[in-house]
Amino acid sequence: MTNECNNNNDIVNKINDVTEKLQSLMKRTIDEDTYNLDAFDQCEGAWPIGHPLPLPSWSNKIKTPLIVDKIWQYEDIVALIEVTLHRLLEETHYNTVNNFLDFYSSFKKSNSNDLRTYFQNYVPPINRRHHMCVSLAMEIVARLSETCPGLAEHFFLVSCEEALESVQPYIVNCKELGIENAMYNLEKEHSLIAMRVNVAGREGLMLLDPGYHVARAVTVMKDQNYPHTGWFIQSKEPHLTREYCYRFNSEDFIEWSERTTRGVQQTHEVSLIYVKLPYRTAIDVTVRRNLVYNFRSLLSRDAKGRVCAGIYFPVAQSGGDSTFTLFYDGPNDQSIKIKYKFNTFMDETKIPEGIMNHLNHLSAQLRMSMHDLCLLLKSIYEAVADQDFVKQVLAINDHITAMSADN
Q: What is the pLDDT of residue 172?
A: 87
Q: What is the pLDDT of residue 406?
A: 66
Residue 108 CA to residue 102 CA, distance in Å, equals 10
Q: Are residues 172 and 235 in the same domain?
A: yes
Q: Are residues 206 and 100 in the same domain?
A: yes
SS3 45: coil
Each residue's pLDDT tens digit in the chain (407 positions)?
445 445 445 544 443 443 343 344 333 333 578 888 888 999 999 999 999 999 999 999 999 999 999 999 999 999 999 999 999 999 999 999 999 999 999 999 999 999 999 999 999 999 898 999 999 999 999 999 998 889 999 999 999 999 998 899 889 888 887 787 776 788 999 999 999 999 999 999 999 999 999 999 999 999 999 999 999 999 998 889 999 999 999 999 999 999 999 999 999 999 999 999 999 999 999 999 999 999 999 999 999 999 999 999 999 987 668 899 999 999 988 899 999 998 888 887 888 888 999 999 999 999 999 999 999 999 999 999 999 999 999 999 999 999 988 66
Q: Are residues 225 and 206 in the same domain?
A: yes
Residue 325 CA to residue 97 CA, distance in Å, equals 13
Q: What is the pLDDT of residue 407?
A: 65
Q: What is the pLDDT of residue 320?
A: 64
Range of the domain at 147: 66-293
Of 244, 270, 293, the domain-final residue: 293
Residue 151 CA to residue 217 CA, distance in Å, equals 13
Q: Are residues 241 and 127 in the same domain?
A: yes
Residue 66 CA to residue 78 CA, distance in Å, equals 12
Q: Are residues 234 and 377 in the same domain?
A: no
| Burial class, 294, CB count within 10 angstroms (exposed 0-12 / middle 13-18 / buried 19+) | middle
Q: Does 304 fall in a domain?
A: yes
Q: Are residues 189 and 120 in the same domain?
A: yes
**What's the chain's Rg over C-alpha atoms?**
24
Q: Are residues 266 and 330 in the same domain?
A: no
Q: Are residues 284 and 319 in the same domain?
A: no
Q: Does 401 fall in a domain?
A: no
Q: Does 15 fall in a domain?
A: no
Q: Does 23 fall in a domain?
A: no
Q: Are residues 311 and 189 in the same domain?
A: no
Of 293, 325, 351, the domain-final residue: 293
Q: Are residues 135 and 249 in the same domain?
A: yes
Q: Does 280 fall in a domain?
A: yes
Cis preceding-peptide flag for 278 (omega within 30 of 0)? no
Classify residue 58 by its DSSP letter.
B
Q: Are residues 304 and 155 in the same domain?
A: no
Of 266, 293, 320, the domain-final residue: 293
Q: Does 61 fall in a domain?
A: no
Q: What is the pLDDT of residue 319?
A: 65
Q: Does 309 fall in a domain?
A: yes
Residue 198 CA to residue 289 CA, distance in Å, equals 34
Q: Which amino acid is at 50?
A: G
Q: Does 251 fall in a domain?
A: yes
Per-state percent for the chain, helix, strand, coil, to nearest 5: 45, 25, 30
Q: What is the pLDDT of residue 10?
A: 53
Residue 1 CA to residue 9 CA, distance in Å, equals 12
Q: What is the pLDDT of residue 257?
A: 98
Q: Are residues 243 and 125 in the same domain?
A: yes
How many folded domains does the chain comprise? 2
Comparing CA positions, the residue from 215, 221, 247 lying closest to residue 233 is 215
Q: What is the pLDDT of residue 59?
A: 94
